[in-house]
Amino acid sequence: MTVIKDITNYIEKLAPLRYAEGFDNVGLLVGSYETPITGVLVTLDCLENVVDEAIDKSCNLIVAFHPIIFKGIKNLRPDDYVKRVIIKAIKNDIAIYATHTALDVAHGGVSYRMAQELGLQNLKTLAPKNNLIKKLTTYIPIEHFDQVQNTLFQSGAGHIGNYKECGFSVDGDGTFKGNELSNPQYGVSGIRSTEKEKQLHITYLPHLESKILKTLKESHPYEEVAYEIVTLENSYQKIGMGCVGEFPEELEIEDFISTLKSTFNHNAIRTSLSRKRTIKKVAVLGGSGAFAIQNAKSCGADAYVTADLKYHDFFQGQDILLCDIGHYESEQFTKNLLTEYLTEKFTNFAILCAQAQTNPVNYY
């Protein structure tokens, strides 16, 4: 029997909630993790018409990109669209889960899907997160070193980019003296002992920390395990906002704009007055992306495709073509991404892509 927690755990392999922005409200917003699944409806926004569609299609879990609950709620009177959605979902035993910025920063997430739809190649993260990677240092008796190191590798430590099982060790002497309550694996309580040890340095990502520390303590022979954890300033290429890639061949600017219009099904694209006449390297970022204009410039992009640019943002678009394709339009493929991802894993119930219209903006 598949329960909601099975679905959310699988989503969080792609987009761990640990990496969502601090202002965000992600995870299970309505319902219980232990509820058995009857069907899943994937949507960009969770509005009343989406809940109605879930009811009609016997789906008791809505997986949404944007969180319907974002600010504090002081009552559940049906006097705005947010509370009406929550009330209707609860009355009909429908759970709501949101991933939002956890999926924004995921490798293969929102912006990567934009780039793939455009046909870009050689994809990289536009604005990788800094101060993310953790480094564990611990001290292991030589005869137990291989066993402890291998179990840490198996728990996910030592994974750097395209490489796994990365670590560094130094031989040394460890000293310790247990009190009358100690039960040392080596030596005798009350007497200082010196043991040949290896100092192990190994990196890992924060969402794995509890698993890695549990593994360390279970596999290490010492009664008290000595270890240190520091956060590195290094950026991590596979977690961050936006994506940058290249077309196989240069496009004339008019052809590039036409490609944007057809790919994102939108004819109201706003652009800067750029001096660029050909486009090859393109940065993209789903949703509001003004904050990453400088990142797009720094990586040498000819164009930057995003949404919600303000009037004064466009003044930065002389040496780069800034393209505002609309918030909904930039994120529209997210529900396809999640539907495809879940369908690959779960086949014993329906996983449907919502048909309900949720774009709040009209164009004339």
Tell me: is residue 66 an annotated ligand-binding position. Answer: yes
Q: What is each CA distance from 158 to 50, 208, 304, in whole angstroms?
A: 42, 11, 34
User: What is the DSSP pairing of strand 95-98 with strand 61-64?
Assistant: parallel
Give me the DSSP letters along 54-117.
HHHTT--EEEESS-S--S------SSSHHHHHHHHHHHTT-EEEE-THHHHSBTTSHHHHHHHH
> Which tokens go with 315?
């003044």
Tell me: is residue 233 an annotated ligand-binding position. Answer: no
Beta bridge partners of 138: 200, 227
Tell me: is residue 331 an annotated ligand-binding position. Answer: yes
CA-wise closest residue to 101 among 286, 284, 235, 231: 286
Read off the DSSP letter of residue 161: T
For the chain, the maximum distance between any two Cα atoms, rounded to a whole number of angstroms, is 84
Tell me: is residue 104 an annotated ligand-binding position. Answer: yes
* Residue ranges at the known binding site: 66, 104, 327, 331
- For the annotated binding site for a divalent metal cation, the residues are 66, 104, 327, 331
